[in-house]
Structure 1
Amino acid sequence: MDTDYFNDTHRQVRDSARRFVATHILPHIDEWEEQGEFPREVFRLAGDAGLLGAGYPEALGGHSEGDVFLKVVISEELMRSTSGGLAASLGSLDIALPPLVRWGRPELRDAIVPPVLRGEKIMALAITEPGGGSDVANLSTRAVRDGDHYVVNGSKTFITSGHRADHYTVAVRTGEAGHGGISLLLVDRDTPGFSRGRHLQKMGWWASDTAELFFEDCRVPADRLIGDENAGFPAIMSNFLSERLMLAVMGYMGAQLALEASQEYVRQREAFGRPLSGFQVTRHKLVEMATQVDIAREYTYRCAALMQAGKNPIRQVAMAKNFAAEVCESVTREAIQLHGGMGYMRETGVERLYRDGRLLAIGGGTTEIMKELIGKQMGL
């Protein structure tokens, strides 16, 4: 798995992240999955371990700013928790913070970012709406300027870390219809007129706190605007590139873990007097699974290298996300088949990996939206 993409620092961080998962997560993850969330303390422990601050400016309490492969390493190791929901929740800051880091007022940025990177506060991104899905340009939650405040009305859904977040980066409509009328506001959880709805029950990502959000004449100070008014859409789009890369990482890692579990299982399980690994059909199935995983991983690494070099590989990252999502779904399905009846049991990791992997073709822009995006990039 180690290639020229990674240096000694990356390897040290990988070892540290793997120990963190083995010590603080794996002993408890089955219980947390059934509970539908994990303790808030895990955020602070991850912050203490430096896992949350990777890639952010040192002046804000981060380290290794701009190192895309460090984020890849940490995401890979968090996925070894076998829980996409835990990895996604711990990573919710990575989709919520970047707009604030890049375009927020210095005073606002300096007050909010360091506690989040330490794991003392939790940050969530609120874009998706009940009637909108991937159609970000047509979101309808509206913010109307009223003196030194914006009055916000509308709702959001499928918000990761939505219930326990302390701060939310919220996409609102401040202008006309279309992408040109969207802005970003930083909303605190105790803001009057803001509330959280029910805990959403999901097919997978059980350990992820997922919420509905409601804004009813919610008064947000105007100085909580992130960037310029009506300039939120480009900020959202620039954020999507990193989010989709991390979803691709989750895809090939879910498949990798299912492959590893399958290889171990077929060596131990016997049928008709010999191990399952003794059957050619089993070996060939595992070879096909390994081939898909390797291709998805290496292509994702190539996309990360382009980003590291300062490129903007919109088309390639969308392709990586789509391909990794397909690989995850295919490989985890085959893993369940190889496990037989045990593969259908909750106590078997491949069952969770299969459920969790299904989201990857939906989150961060559906496969269909990605194909449209790729087509535009191809000039079609």
Structure 2
Amino acid sequence: MNSMYFTEEHILFRKSLQAFLKKEVVPHIEKWEQTGTIDRFIWKKFGDMGYFGINYPIAYGGLNLDLFYTIILLEELQKVNSGGFAAAIWAHVYLAMTHLNAEGDEAIKQNYLKPSIKGDKIGCLCITEPFGGSDVAGMRTTAVKQDDHYIINGSKTFITNGVYSDYLIVAAKTSPELGNKGISIFLVDRDIAGISATKLNKLGWRASDTGEIAFDNVKIPASHLMGEENKGFQYIMQHFSLERLIMGVNAHARAEFALDYALKYMSERHAFGKSINKFQALRHSIADLATEVEFCKAFNYSVTYRLNKGQYVVKEATMSKLKSTKVADEVIYQCLQFLGGYGYMEDYPMARLLRDSRLGPIGGGTSEILREILAKIIIDNKEYKPAT
């Protein structure tokens, strides 16, 4: 472990988390993968342990710890070999709850952030739309103000926790004529009339409830506007840095998990009178893959350090997701090959790892979109600034 970033307290936290996941999560993973439903009890156990409040204020039940505790949580979640379970957890904590903490008023924080930290309420973030994809500015969902409430109409898709969550953080256009400058963020309770959700059938992330959500004249109180009206696009862009870094960290962690598993397998698998980790072609391939993973990990830690200091790291976080997810796909593909026929079997972890990893270059902004963002920064000198 890199002592530049991790203290003795971090190390102890990691060991405690590993023991918790082994006891409380791993025995249930196969069931959740098969049913596509994560039992509710585990959310409460995470909350009781304080894992949902790692980097949230003490006033709302959080622990107010540095971001490297978050990195540990993300890394260890990848080792349970269920991208869907890991996604359900971090989508709640670092997508939905991030907006509650950043844009929610005191009432929202008391009524939603507090129970979210405790594991009593689960949230989801609703931005992507069926016709918009990564084009946030092109969203069609609207929120029209009428007296002391808003009426929301539209649809969202590919929403993690989109079916079983208790509340939704929804981006909608309050001033469509202003384009991306007319987007606002709202808190919407699940049980309000006019909301319907359909679970999507996915290649990977099978344990999570990824949903398509429709809003049909959904009436919410005006007090559930989060932050200022028409500043939603700035809020979304600001939080994308954390989301992209999270996906970059997830990627290096699952790649490292795949490598560790492959190395163990190769040390035990014999062919032509020796273990297959003695064959030069395989050894050199391992060396290249391990180098790529280590580069990603070191870069991601450095970006985390800067973000923890309050720096605006939109460029670096975008690079993190772009590079790390690509490396993870390549590493896991090759590690499956190292296992030969066993890599193709569902009784071994690589098949699921391969499926789950493939979402990395798609979710949270496709690699193609990320390259264009970086091109604008590097070539066109475009500056992305935090919301004020």
Matches within 5 A, 1:146-165: 146-165=146-165
Alignment correspondent of 2:185: 184
Whole-angstrom CA distance in 1 between matches of 2:74 and 2:30: 19
Whole-angstrom CA distance in 2 between matches of 1:163 and 1:348: 29
Alignment correspondent of 2:221: 221
Supply the AA of the counterpart residue of 2:155: S
Residue 192 of structure 2: SS of its match in structure 1? coil
TM-superposed CA distance for 1:269, in Å, is 1.1
Whole-angstrom CA distance in 1 between matches of 2:363 and 2:316: 17
Matches within 5 A, 1:306-345: 306-345=306-345
Supply the AA of the counterpart residue of 1:168: L
Alignment correspondent of 2:265: 265
Alignment correspondent of 1:367: 367
Supply the AA of the counterpart residue of 1:114: K
Does the 8 Å contact 1:17/1:78 carry over to 2? no
Does the 8 Å contact 1:138/1:177 carry over to 2? no
Structure 1 segments (4+ residues) deviating >3 Å: none
Whole-angstrom CA distance in 2 between matches of 1:167 and 1:9: 34
Whole-angstrom CA distance in 2 between matches of 1:368 and 1:207: 27
TM-superposed CA distance for 1:8, in Å, is 2.3
Whether 1:76 aligns to 2:60 is: no
TM-superposed CA distance for 1:257, in Å, is 0.7
Whole-angstrom CA distance in 1 between matches of 2:279 and 2:48: 47
Residue 214 of structure 1: SS of its match in structure 2? strand
Whole-angstrom CA distance in 2 between matches of 1:115 and 1:206: 26
Does the 8 Å contact 1:252/1:296 carry over to 2? yes
Alignment correspondent of 2:385: none
Whole-angstrom CA distance in 1 between matches of 2:320 and 2:116: 29
TM-superposed CA distance for 1:302, in Å, is 0.8
Residue 361 of structure 1: SS of its match in structure 2? coil
Matches within 5 A, 1:56-75: 56-65=56-65, 67-75=66-74
Q: What is the number of residues matched between the two proteins?
A: 378
TM-superposed CA distance for 1:178, in Å, is 1.7
TM-superposed CA distance for 1:64, in Å, is 2.1
**More off after superposition, 350-359 vs 102-111:** 102-111
Whole-angstrom CA distance in 2 between matches of 1:101 and 1:114: 10
Any unmatched runs of 5+ in structure 2?
381-388
Whole-angstrom CA distance in 1 between matches of 2:326 and 2:98: 28
Does the 8 Å contact 1:21/1:80 carry over to 2? no
Whole-angstrom CA distance in 1 between matches of 2:167 and 2:36: 21
Residue 370 of structure 2: SS of its match in structure 1? helix
Does the 8 Å contact 1:196/1:213 carry over to 2? yes
Alignment correspondent of 1:92: 91
Whole-angstrom CA distance in 2 between matches of 1:115 and 1:315: 33
The normalised TM-score by structure 1 is 0.97
| Deviation string, structure 1 residues 320-340 (Cα, Å, up to 9, x no partner) | 111100110000000110000
TM-superposed CA distance for 1:146, in Å, is 1.1
Alignment correspondent of 1:290: 290
Whole-angstrom CA distance in 1 between matches of 2:194 and 2:56: 32
TM-superposed CA distance for 1:28, in Å, is 2.2
| Deviation string, structure 1 residues 276-329 (Cα, Å, up to 9, x no partner) | 112111111111111111111001001101111211111111111111001100
| Deviation string, structure 1 residues 158-212 (Cα, Å, up to 9, x no partner) | 1101111101100001002421000001000011111212x11111111111111
| Deviation string, structure 1 residues 38-70 (Cα, Å, up to 9, x no partner) | 2111111111111111100000111125x1111
Does the 8 Å contact 1:142/1:172 carry over to 2? yes
Whole-angstrom CA distance in 2 between matches of 1:108 and 1:34: 35
Whole-angstrom CA distance in 1 between matches of 2:28 and 2:347: 13
Q: CA RMSD in A?
A: 1.1
Matches within 5 A, 1:1-380: 1-65=1-65, 67-93=66-92, 94-175=94-175, 176-197=177-198, 199-380=199-380
| Deviation string, structure 1 residues 195-252 (Cα, Å, up to 9, x no partner) | 212x111111111111111100111111100011111111111111111111001101
Identity of paired residues, percent?
Answer: 39
Whole-angstrom CA distance in 1 between matches of 2:99 and 2:77: 24
Supply the AA of the counterpart residue of 1:6: F
Does the 8 Å contact 1:258/1:332 carry over to 2? yes
**More off after superposition, 121-130 vs 344-353:** 344-353
Does the 8 Å contact 1:126/1:170 carry over to 2? yes
**More off after superposition, 359-368 vs 30-39:** 30-39
Supply the AA of the counterpart residue of 1:300: N
| Deviation string, structure 1 residues 258-284 (Cα, Å, up to 9, x no partner) | 101100111111112221112111111
